[in-house]
Amino acid sequence: MQIGIRRLVLVAALVLSFGVVGCSDSDEGSGDSGGERPEMPMPTPEPAPELSCAEVASEALRSCLGSYGAAVASCYSDDGAPCAGNDAAVNAATSDLETAVRDNCADGDFLSLSADALVGRLKNSCSSEASSLAWRTYGGPQGAVYPSVDGTGQSCLTAAHVAASSMVDQALAGINACLASGDCGSVEQDRSALAATMQSDVEAACDDLSSLIAVTPETYVARSAHQIDCITATGQPDTTGVNLNCGPSNTDFDAPRGEYKQIIVDGDKWGSLCGDGSDFAFQVRLAPEGEPLDRILIGLQGGGVCLFGNDCSARFNGNPGLFTAMDDEPFSIGIASTDPEISPFANWTKIYLPYCNQDVFAGGGVVEEFDEISIPRYGGVNLRAAVQMTRDVVWKLMDEEGDAGFRPDEIVALFGGWSAGGYGTLYNYHWLLDDLQWPRTAAFPDAGLALDNGSVLGVSGLGDVKIPAWGTLQNLPSYCFDGQCAVGPTLYNAISPRLKQVPEQQMLILSNPKDNTQQNDAFFDDEAFWINTLRQSYCDTKDLNGIQYYFTSVSDESVHVVSLGGNLWLGEVDGEVMADWFWRAITDPDTVEDRAEEGDFVTAIPGVEPYPCEVAP
């Protein structure tokens, strides 16, 4: 085990040093050229320096990450697939970490955490951070990319994983050493050099990394480097002297408990921007006092989409509020209500994300140029900034509270949106699971089915054009990022194999079939064609792992967005109230069943056909 070896090395070095002096064959200084050599007292070796709990914890975490990552790499090289759940090498990595920490840390030695809480915190960091790096590289937890590419591609991915793992290990070693010594003056320069080396190694090994896993070498390096910050924030109780972009030392705001506060994001730090060039802002409401901070509801505002110069210009001039976040107030109705009589999530921490780029929260931080107008497409950047900023505040507060402190794997979250925000939910859910490492997150895209009409001017055809134009490639899953992956059912099929690692991990898909707004936004000219496509999509995907549906049954009027409507939120479909269905999805998720009804659509709307699979009457 690395901690024990380190102690032995220190002792051995001291013993060896004294032995060389005391056992010389030279007679010089003996005082007797012909007689017996006088006895020389052997100096007592100095004891090895006592390592603090923090030093042991941080080094044990680093060692675990290295062993865990090496085990994962071996599984892919030997079997071409992710490690099995009972893999001996993976289990040994976390077991060694636990032994080191328990041998050297007592309750309260690390922040105010118990030894049990510290072990859980570090073991989760090791497994989730090492896994996240592997998922980014090989194609999600299911390893979808690695077996689908040729030998050259597999060599590229293996080399990238090795380079990233090496950078993480060396950077953590440097950070741990500088924090132990109190001299971190060169740590940023050293990290920059390691990042440059990693990027050079990846570029040398890969002809076109982004064609395999959707990210360029530069982005691949940056995301690996960000993990180093989060690992350090987890494994060190005091990070003074090191600038981190993750964790309690990175907090940008304070907020009261139990009331909304608008947070204006520092665009220079986070790279965020709205469509009119103004700063992005969001609203946060930390859970009221006495309620857990780590129950989190994230809501993405809707507002349509503009795709071409003429419609973007018309929207900008006719409704400039669509391009700014400064004047947007959070919803407090339906699922988002702060009244416990209406929503079981009333007292959860809430993050409300305004929509200001007309890019369905998919934009990767580019400006799309038209003859008539230029539109910043930063929706995905804004979303990630707001969630990470809130994460760091919650992290700080929970660590200060003591008990078990902050644990990302213990956060229970609902991540969803309405209309364009529903589309944004589809395109960003994987990020919360794979990169943010909040496994107990359920997604709820409401009125954002992203159905394809089969024509060039449809979701798939536009995906081919807008994924590169909006810089969206880097924001999509490593296992689904071409134009077809803009289509809801295609994305369900791609993400389904990585869902249900824990029971809460599922997509809760909501809509009313008669929804002229959603129909028009997806370029369906005919209402019956829209509803029939919806019904076929449901039947094609309802049995996928982790995919659940709740379709309301209003046929006499168009209904756009259902989880914010009081009569629908508290109304029943197939015998279950939507609010109760949502609560069951969180508290007893394995028992959730689809709620969809035939209704009277066939008679009410000419051309609508019955569901091609069994649903409720």
Are 95 and 101 in contact, with CB atoms under 8 Å apart? no
Are 283 and 262 in contact, with CB atoms under 8 Å apart? yes
Per-residue exposure over 329-361, b if at least 16 CB sit within 10 Å of its own CB, e if not: ebbbebbbbbeeebbbbbbbbbbbbbbbbbbbb
Q: Which residue(s) pair with 281 in the sheet?
A: 264
- Give the C-alpha separation, 320 to 375, whole Å: 12
H helices of 411-565, in order, are: 420-434, 459-469, 488-495, 516-521, 527-541
The CA radius of gyration of the chain, in Å to the nearest whole number, is: 28
Instruction: Give the pLDDT of residue 48.
Output: 52
Q: Which residue(s) pair with 368 in the sheet?
A: 375
Are 583 and 543 in contact, with CB atoms under 8 Å apart? no
Q: What is the pLDDT of residues 40-49, one digit of tens each?
A: 455 555 555 6
Name the strand (E) or helix (H) holding 577.
strand 576-577
For β-strands 412-418 and 295-300, DSSP reports them as: parallel
Q: What is the pLDDT of residues 570-586, one digit of tens each?
A: 999 999 999 999 999 99
Instruction: Give the pLDDT of residue 566.
Output: 84
Q: Which residue from 438, 443, 534 is spatially nearest to 495, judged by alpha carbons?
A: 443
Instruction: Give the pLDDT of residue 293.
Output: 98
Tell me the pTM.
0.91
Cα dihedral 375, 376, 380, 382 sign: negative
- Give the C-alpha separation, 20 to 260, whole Å: 69
Instruction: Give the pLDDT of residue 136.
Output: 98
- Give the C-alpha separation, 427 to 235, whole Å: 31
Give the SS3 label for residue 367: strand
Instruction: Give the pLDDT of residue 402.
Output: 80
Instruction: Show the low-confidence residues of the chain (pLDDT under 70).
Output: 1-49
Instruction: Give the pLDDT of residue 46.
Output: 56
